[in-house]
Amino acid sequence: MDFISAIILSAVEGLTEFLPVSSTGHLILASRLLNITQTDFVKSFEIFIQLGAISSVVFLYFKDLIDPKKWPPILIAFIPSAIIGLVFYKFIKSFLLGSSEVVVASLFVGGFILIAVEYKNLGKKEVIDSFEKINYKQALIIGIAQSFSVIPGTSRAAATIIGGMLAGLNRKTAVEFSFILAVPTMLGATMLDLIQSYKNFSTSNLQILAVGFIASFVVAVFAIKFLLKFVKNHTFVSFGIYRIAAAIIFWFFVLR
């Protein structure tokens, strides 16, 4: 992997990590378009640049992150994914990451689910409009929903937002909960992979990782601000349509 490819992939990560469209899925498909072989380092790179994306959350939500009242529901929501990640780490990295077919199928199905949830909530009056109102049961529902995001193409953001909306959170609260929940989730996933892989990194590998971190951080800051403005006046139906269209396009022009 060269530096140009690293910057492109990192920009894709930063743009899609917090949108309900699957950053992992887009990274795998982007790698396919760029003819980047899915080596162990490339897989580690795709996991590591998530650290740049979550750093943007720390940068924008620092006051919330140091508020101890915000952490109990976050930690409860984190538990299901932590268990799934630890138990199935080798299977996920060996068989799921890098599979374009799994990504396309997940993008397609997830698009319909996102649209269905929006129509289910049409006209519904959400009662949860702040972190303080989220109880432990609702946090656990969001956490269980997030655990499905280990399947590439599902989208961690989409899973947590859908889980939040089904639990009664309004869009803005569901989105912001998804942002902050990303910190322990993605930090855990990144650290787990680094512990397993860091001994195999060369000096050039470390330089590429550094460039990827910076690029994903910068782009993610703008993506977060965009999504917060978007949800004020729009539903997630357009993202559902995009997922379905992207899946069909990639199926016909990339996989066939």
Number of domains in the chain: 1
The distance of Cα 233 from the centroid of its chain, to the nearest Å, equals 22
pTM of the model: 0.83
Distances (CA, A) of 184 to 99, 119, 174: 25, 31, 17
Distances (CA, A) of 108 to 12, 57, 214, 243, 252: 19, 28, 31, 6, 13
CA separation for the pair 254, 204 (Å, rounded): 30
pLDDT for 243 beyond 80:
yes
* Domain of residue 210, residue span: 3-255
Interval 18-76: pLDDT, tens: 999 988 778 877 887 888 877 778 878 888 888 899 999 999 999 888 888 888 999 99
pLDDT for 168 beyond 70:
yes
CA separation for the pair 239, 191 (Å, rounded): 30
